[in-house]
Structure 1
Amino acid sequence: MWLKKQVPNGITLLNLLSGSIAVIFAVQEHLEYAAFFAMLGIFFDFFDGLAARLLNAQSALGLQLDSLADMVTSGVVPGIVMYQLLTKVFGKPFYVTPPTWNTNQVFASIDASYFSLLGLLVVLASAYRLAKFNIDTRQTTSFIGLPTPANTLLIISLPLILKFQHEGWVVAIILNKWFLIVLTLVSCYLLNAEIPLFALKFKTWNIQDNKIRYAFLVLTIGFIAWLKFLSIPCIILLYVIMSLLVKTGDR
């Protein structure tokens, strides 16, 4: 019995391990590998909850462990990825010219590259969203605000698009400093906005009860087949729009 209850926790720890590896790759500027391990962590994040329900092994420990693992995989990783993308745009990391205690030198050493630190706002917004989720009883069957894994997929899709779908117009948009800054601020807002979003949790397989979920899955498959990695931001946008259009009772 004890071992059965630890299965979901073990899967959660695999999420944490994947996220930790993604952090290492992100810090080393290997953003495609960071994206891969972040996706792997999100995969484990989905299945730890499923395993807990199937094994009837939900626990307060599992809830806390899940949030801590998500903080790394779906909080720290996208924040560092966004920081690295902003660093690429501004040309150098913020610590190239570190300030000293001399007041004049402090202000002289701060240049535009320090704006890359805005990417770390994603870490702060994710932490706030995860903490709020744990105490919000309204989010048992649906979400309020964009879930951190969805926000992570949105951000980590950018280096994958740059790597594998490097059309000129796509690169020009993604590597535009204003695009990245606005996307950072929008993602932080969506994480904590009072916007009700449906969850991909099927209580039954009845089409009538789950028409919004089935429609979303069909459109998702179509987007992936058509746009590949470019489909990820489109799918996140579709998810938000469909959630805004769906009736409350259908969530």
Structure 2
Amino acid sequence: MNIKKHVPNFITLLNLLSGCIALIFAMELNFEMAFFFVSLGIFLDFFDGFFARLFKVSSPLGLQLDSLADMVTSGVVPGFIMVTMLSDGNNISATSWAPYLGFIITLASCYRLANFNIDTRQTDSFIGLPTPANALLILSLPLILQNNPPEIIHILLKNPYFLLAVTAFSAFILNAEIPLFSLKIKEFNFAKNKLQILFLTTSVVFLFVFQYLAIPMIILFYILLSVVNNYQLGKK
């Protein structure tokens, strides 16, 4: 019995378990623990692929398991978080349909994950925002709200129209035909990796200064930097 071939799939299932636990904490409005377990799931999501390549045991089964696990951790959980924010923490009833629009994030995540599996262009970079990044973006919002943000941000995050705009943006950017540069540093060469180094350095500074508020700033910076990079490459 080849144990190595089961290691990546076991790690993927741990990602799924993390997403399930995160969902329970989200239902209890414990957003910090929900954020922790989604982050843990994303961490495990990185290592299942790492070990699959290390042990040379990549398989179609692993690819499908990976997307199914991500569907919960990076699809269902952020959608539920947005539903909760749109309901302003109140119990959701059948007569209150508007909060359910938050699940548009879940539907868009599902479409992206299915499309990713058949899109051969996304081997070394991404087209559209990856679901883990989008999940962190959405899960950061209630944490920002809980940590005494500036008044204007507090007002925006309590405004259902702003939250619906964020939901629409999330669904769009997940599936937009916008190439986003890869964060992988394949060799220690500053000239070839200056974009990645600039992004990672800026992200560390943002996190140190702005904490949870840094997360949406980092995601938007990543998208903007990619668009600028695409424009420069197009001019060459």
TM-score, with length taken from structure 1: 0.87
1:128 correspondence with 2:102: no
1:38 correspondence with 2:21: no
Spell out structure 1 runs of 4+ moving beyond 4 A: none
2:229 counterpart residue number: 246
Superposed displacement of residue 32, structure 1 = 2.3
* 1:93 and 1:114 in contact (8 A); partners too: no
Distance (Å, rounded) in 1 between the aligned partners of 2:59 and 2:189: 29
Aligned equivalent of 2:135, options 116, 127, 152: 152
* 1:220 and 1:235 in contact (8 A); partners too: yes
Considering only CA atoms, is the larger Rg found in Structure 1 or Structure 2?
1
Q: Which has the higher mean CA deviation after the structures are superposed, 151-160 or 24-33?
A: 24-33
Distance (Å, rounded) in 2 between the aligned partners of 1:55 and 1:210: 27
For structure 1, which runs of at least 5 residues remain unmatched after alignment? 99-109
Superposed displacement of residue 56, structure 1 = 2.1
2:194 counterpart residue number: 211
Letter aligned with residue 196 of structure 1: P
1:11 counterpart residue number: 11
* 1:68-114 deviation line (CA, Å, top 9, x unaligned): 000000000000000000000xx74441xx4xxxxxxxxxxx4xx32
For structure 2, which runs of at least 5 residues remain unmatched after alignment? none
Distance (Å, rounded) in 1 between the aligned partners of 2:172 and 2:85: 19
Q: Which has the higher mean CA deviation after the structures are superposed, 162-171 or 209-218?
A: 162-171
Distance (Å, rounded) in 1 between the aligned partners of 2:54 and 2:62: 14
Distance (Å, rounded) in 2 between the aligned partners of 1:11 and 1:200: 22
RMSD: 1.6
Q: Which has the higher mean CA deviation after the structures are superposed, 170-179 or 66-75?
A: 170-179
Identity %: 55
Superposed displacement of residue 167, structure 1 = 4.0
- Local SS of the residue matching 2:121: helix
Aligned residue-pair number:
232
Letter aligned with residue 223 of structure 2: V
1:2 correspondence with 2:2: yes
Distance (Å, rounded) in 2 between the aligned partners of 1:203 and 1:4: 25
Q: Which has the higher mean CA deviation after the structures are superposed, 33-42 or 237-246?
A: 33-42
Distance (Å, rounded) in 1 between the aligned partners of 2:203 and 2:90: 37
* 1:112-146 deviation line (CA, Å, top 9, x unaligned): x3210110001100000000000000111111111
- Local SS of the residue matching 2:100: helix
